[in-house]
């Protein structure tokens, strides 16, 4: 089959601006949620600690901030002067999505795609769920990753336009925002230079590695040092990978046969589509193929690391780009290939490309239909006060948090279910929470505390499934176990979602199926 020539889109400025606006509104209409995602509450805690040093200063996890989100926390911290957490989350989403829309259009232009094809690819990508990994999306919540990805695409644009210095500086910046995304950014974009080394010479590759390394290496060393003690003395890597986040790091946990086939389909189709639609520009073709090859290599390395239980590799999330970036590249390049083939009137090529695309997106579109199109009117038509007040379904918990803030000491420590919004909305410390693990040597104590809340039993499950196990046992802690936790961790309050008749003498709050017990009321 003959190679399909590259497209030549109209590069008029107002077309570019229109594409940015359209993509932004696609994100807004298909991805917006009025309520914060659970982990958005957690990602804002570091910035609030910086703004208010007394906030959660008695909490086991948050009294020491992790260096991994240092830049994100310091960028967000000033916003607490003017806004509450809900407004910061909403504004953060809008900013990240607008920035991503702009950088994606630049990527469209750098790769020579037509705007109409690119926008259609974005829509299909969003409707298909964005990722093969649950709860791991580029366009979703306000967190460090959401700010890092626009700079990844900007760095890719600079590299495709042969601006190595700018690409290296942006890649280093990605590491400062999100170390994991940054590491794989340097690896994938550096691989593009490696595949072009005969054309551009070694100087460009060395320049890219040196500049990005000089910017990011001190920060990476600090992050690695903060985990070093745990890695050698306390099994940090295994606890983090196999217990806390197996839904992101263990392929046995989040990749089934269908996902495995889809990922390889994304890789193969994207690689050959790039070969055909970028045939007229050898540098860009080889560069994009190098990027895809690097993403493939990281995926394979992750599989090998899991087989040999190399947890120090798995904690770097080697599957992230294969599950998040590859679906995007698949829709962009394979759809462009289909439209290019149609333009050159190649029926067999059109049919083949259509079958490939349909086979990959049919299941994904069906699975995500109810989370996107069908629920769209309900998510768009919301009252404005939802931005400043609790939604109706959370009103009961909001009243409880208000009572806690007003009636409990600021330094009190709680034994709680794993509510993702407890820290932010109650402004009180917890003995421990599965929602956030310390990224340093304290992870061993974190696991021990969880086991104590789990009635002293080792966990039978891991990842999010352990939360259900923990919640079941936390709500059944005996009186003796509660007072043991009080003595061991200075816990004063016990929060649960069921009435404990054996603790009626300790009950201080009861409403909307939330029950709070004061362990200091013990008689004798």
C-alpha distances (whole Å) from 466 to each of 243, 450, 459 are 8, 10, 7
CA dihedral 292, 293, 295, 298 (to 10 degrees): 180
pLDDT at position 40, please? 93
- Number of DSSP helices (H) and strands (E) in the chain, helices first: 25, 5
Any idea how long the chain is? 524
Q: Beta strands 514-518 and 507-511: pairing type? A: antiparallel
pLDDT at position 343: 62
Residue 183: closest CA among 227, 217, 144: 217
| pLDDT score for 228 | 59
Q: What is the pLDDT along the chain (524 residues), one digit of tens a residue?
A: 444 444 444 456 788 999 999 999 999 998 988 888 888 999 999 999 999 999 999 999 999 888 889 999 999 999 999 999 999 999 999 999 999 999 999 999 999 888 999 999 999 899 888 888 877 899 989 999 999 999 999 999 999 999 999 999 999 999 999 999 999 999 999 999 998 888 777 899 999 999 999 999 988 888 877 775 544 444 788 899 999 999 899 998 888 887 888 888 889 888 988 988 887 788 999 999 999 999 999 999 999 999 999 998 999 999 999 999 999 999 999 888 887 776 665 665 655 666 666 655 554 554 554 444 444 444 444 433 344 444 555 567 889 999 999 999 999 999 998 888 999 999 999 999 999 999 888 899 999 999 999 999 999 999 888 988 999 999 999 999 999 999 999 999 999 999 999 999 999 999 988 999 999 986 54
> Left (φ > 0), alpha (ψ -120 to 50) or beta: where does 341 sit?
alpha
**Residue 319: CB partners within 8 Å, gap ≥ 6?**
133, 248, 249, 251, 255, 298, 299, 302
Q: Can you give the pLDDT at residue 374?
A: 46
Helix (H) or strand (E) holding 74: helix 70-76
pLDDT tens digits, one per residue of 448-476: 999 999 999 999 999 888 988 999 999 99
Give the DSSP letter of residue 139.
S
Q: Output the pLDDT for position 368.
A: 52
Give the pLDDT score at 232.
46
* Distant-in-sequence, close-in-space partners of 235: CB < 8 Å, separation ≥ 6: 444
Residue carrying the six token digits 């990508």: 125
What are the angstrom distances between the C-alpha of 237 and each of 80, 318, 440, 441, 475?
Answer: 34, 14, 10, 10, 30
How far is the C-alpha of 344 from the C-alpha of 362, rounded, in Å?
A: 26
Q: What pLDDT does residue 362 have?
A: 53
Instruction: Name, in order, each residue with C-beta under 8 angstroms of 408's C-beta and a sequence gap of 6 or more.
Output: 428, 492, 493
SS3 of residue 415 by DSSP: strand
| pTM as predicted | 0.90
In 3D, which of 122, 139, 130, 284 has the Cα closest to residue 200? 284
Number of neighbours of residue 199 by Cβ within 10 angstroms:
11
Cα–Cα distance measured from residue 242 to residue 36, given in angstroms and rounded to the nearest whole number: 27
Q: What is the pLDDT of residue 214?
A: 94
- DSSP state, residue 429: E
Q: What is the pLDDT of residue 255?
A: 86
Beta strands 507-511 and 493-496 are: unpaired
List, edge to edge, every strand of the sheet that includes 514-518: 429-430, 413-415, 493-496, 514-518, 507-511
Residues 267 and 329 sit within 8 Å (Cβ to Cβ):
no
Sequence-distant (≥ 6) Cβ neighbours of residue 484 within 8 angstroms: none
Q: Please give the Cα distance from 378 to 365 (Å, whole number).
A: 19
Q: What is the spatial distance between Cα 432 and Cα 128, in angstroms, rounded to a whole number?
A: 36
> Contact 44/76 with Cβ under 8 angstroms?
yes
Consecutive H or E run containing 31? helix 13-31
State the Cα–Cα distance between residues 173 and 189, nearest whole angstrom.
14
Checking DSSP bridges between strand 514-518 and strand 493-496, what pairing results, if any? antiparallel
Q: What pLDDT is attached to residue 121?
A: 92
């Amino acid at each position: 089959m003959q190679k399909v020539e590259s497209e030549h889109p109209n590069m008029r400025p107002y077309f570019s601006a229109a594409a940015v606006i359209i993509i932004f509104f696609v994100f807004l209409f298909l991805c917006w949620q009025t309520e914060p995602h659970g982990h958005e509450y957690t990602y804002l805690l570091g910035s609030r600690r910086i703004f208010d040093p007394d906030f959660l200063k008695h909490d086991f996890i948050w009294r020491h901030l992790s260096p991994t989100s240092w830049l994100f926390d310091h960028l967000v911290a000033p916003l607490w002067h003017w806004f509450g957490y809900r407004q910061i989350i909403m504004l953060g989403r809008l900013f990240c999505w607008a920035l991503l829309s702009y950088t994606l259009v630049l990527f469209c232009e750098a790769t020579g795609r037509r705007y109409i094809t690119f926008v259609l690819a974005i829509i299909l990508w969003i409707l298909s769920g964005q990722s093969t990994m649950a709860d791991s999306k580029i366009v979703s919540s306000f967190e460090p990753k959401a700010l890092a990805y626009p700079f990844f695409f900007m760095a890719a644009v600079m590299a495709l336009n042969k601006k190595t210095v700018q690409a290296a500086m942006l890649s280093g910046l990605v590491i400062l925002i999100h170390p994991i995304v940054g590491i794989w950014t340097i690896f994938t974009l550096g691989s593009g230079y490696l595949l072009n080394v005969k054309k551009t010479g070694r100087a460009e590759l060395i320049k890219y590695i040196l500049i990005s390394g000089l910017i990011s290496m001190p920060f990476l060393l600090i992050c690695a040092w903060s985990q070093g003690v745990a890695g050698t003395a306390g099994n940090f890597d295994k606890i983090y990978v196999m217990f806390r986040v197996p839904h992101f790091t263990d392929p046995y946990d989040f990749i089934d046969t269908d996902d495995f086939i889809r990922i390889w389909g994304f890789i193969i189709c994207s690689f050959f589509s790039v070969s055909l639609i970028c045939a007229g520009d050898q540098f860009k073709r080889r560069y994009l193929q190098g990027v895809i090859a690097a993403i493939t290599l990281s995926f394979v390395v992750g599989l090998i690391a899991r087989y040999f239980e190399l947890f120090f590799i798995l904690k770097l999330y080697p599957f992230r780009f294969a599950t998040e970036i590859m679906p995007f590249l698949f829709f962009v390049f394979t759809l462009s290939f289909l439209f290019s083939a149609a333009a050159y009137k190649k029926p067999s090529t059109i049919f083949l490309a259509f079958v490939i695309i349909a086979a990959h997106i049919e299941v994904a579109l069906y699975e995500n239909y109810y989370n996107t199109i069908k629920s769209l009117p309900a998510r768009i038509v919301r009252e404005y006060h939802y931005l400043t007040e609790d939604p109706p379904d959370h009103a009961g918990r909001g009243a409880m948090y208000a009572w806690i803030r007003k009636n409990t000491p600021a330094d009190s420590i709680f034994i709680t279910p794993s509510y993702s919004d407890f820290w932010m909305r109650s402004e009180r410390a917890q003995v421990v929470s599965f929602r956030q693990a310390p990224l340093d040597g304290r992870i061993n104590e974190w696991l021990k505390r969880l086991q104590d809340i789990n009635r002293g039993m080792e966990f039978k499950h891991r990842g999010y499934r352990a939360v259900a196990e923990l919640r079941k046992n936390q709500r059944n802690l005996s009186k003796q176990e509660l007072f043991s936790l009080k003595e061991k961790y200075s816990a004063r309050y016990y929060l649960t979602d069921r009435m404990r008749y054996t603790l009626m003498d300790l009950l201080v709050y009861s409403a909307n199926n939330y029950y709070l017990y004061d362990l200091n009321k013990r008689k004798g």
